Structure 1
Amino acid sequence: MRLPKSAHTDLPWRIHAVAGDFVIEDVWALPTPGGPDELRELVDWFAADDRGAQPSRVYRALFATRWKLGALLGWDSERSGVGARVPTLRDRLPADLRDGPRGPDLATVPFTSVYLTDTEWVAEMGNRTVHGVMHIGWVPDGAGGYRGQLAVLTKPNGLFGKVYMALILPFRYLLVYPALLAMIERGWATRGVG
């Protein structure tokens, strides 16, 4: 379920001090019910190569097209990513976060872990269009349990990045997020089964 941006901004996340110059694009409640200490399990599941739930054909086709375009147009070259075009957010971290656990990098998409605490995990990616941040927090669900909450933050690369983000907006809401949330729900429900 899509949430208002205040669902992210009203919580005392450490990311606010690290990425205050990023725009909050989206905030979503993740279908990942659990107990108070299950963020690490969600992070490990999310970062794994085989999550036990395959994305839909539409989702796979959309991303295959995006990666093909990116390769063709040079959007995703190493010199346009984190550590080249943009510095890593790890350079902004206070000592306790920098010296603490990073968390795993994602196996299937080009996100690199920035930091991991008991309640939040941050990963970043960069290309010619945008410097993007994925923030997954572990929050009370209002019914005595907990669940994940996904926030996507971006810093578009100039006018090109802003136009790109505007162009992909309908695809994100109509195709990407519904498929992603369905995959997460299926995978989380069946984790450890089999």
Structure 2
Amino acid sequence: MKLPPAAHTDQPWRIHELARDFRVEDVWSYRTPGAGPDDFPVMLAAMRARGGLAKQSLPSRFLFAFRWKLGALLGWDKPRTGLGTRVRPLRDRVPPELADTVDLSLPAGSPFTPVYELDNEAVSELANKTVHTLMHLGWTPTGDADCDYELRMAVLVKPNGRYGRLYMTLIAPFRYLIVYPALTRQWERAWRDRTLPLHPLG
């Protein structure tokens, strides 16, 4: 479910002190019935077990494949346009106690590079010719008797000039109509099935 920016900015996340020059582009919530305050690592593990582009819906896979093909054609994703070249990685700003919470030697399994992971929030980042973006996952109380805690995803962006702003505007309908609804189905199912075998034999 789409939420207003305040659903992210009003929370006491560490990301606020580190990403003041990024704007909140999207905030989305994912329902996790029965979740408690300490279940963020459980949710992350369930998401990773079910995650990955190969396990998303066919429309989402098509969109991502098209995006990577287009990026290759236009040079959006060349190394010189990314982290450590065109932009300074957010990881360079974080204190050691945050940076040490993730192991960059492990396969990321996504185009995003981990920045830090705590017991109630996790951040990863990606940069290319169009934008420097952060994906923030947070675990927060809802005040709802049926769902005490839920996952919230915030997308924070720093577009690369007018070109980047136009890019974000053009892809907005695809995010709202296809990508985020597909993630909702995938991640909420991951929570529901977290105690079930995710890859049954036979």
TM-score, normalization by structure 2: 0.87
Q: How many matched pairs? A: 191
Paired amino acid for 1:156: P
* Match runs of 1:1-194 below 5 Å: 1-33=1-33, 34-48=35-49, 50-51=50-51, 54-98=55-99, 100-102=100-102, 106-107=108-109, 109-143=110-144, 145-194=148-197
User: In 2 relative to 1, CA 22–165 (structure 1 residues): closer, same or farther, beyond 3 Å?
Assistant: same
Give 1:174 shift.
1.1
Relative to structure 2, which stretch is displaced further, 143-152 or 64-73? 143-152
SS at match of 2:183: helix
Identity %: 52
For residues 65 and 30 of structure 2, what CA distance do their matches in structure 1 show? 24
User: In 2 relative to 1, CA 105–12 (structure 1 residues): closer, same or farther, beyond 3 Å?
Assistant: farther
> After superposition, what is the alpha-carbon deviation per residue over 1:103-134, rounded to whole angstroms, capped at 9, x for unaligned?
67641x20011011111100001111100100
SS at match of 1:11: coil
Q: Is the 8 A contact 2:51 2:186 kept in 1?
A: no
Structure 1: unaligned runs, 5 residues or longer:
none
TM-score, normalization by structure 1: 0.90
For residues 45 and 105 of structure 1, what CA distance do their matches in structure 2 show? 17
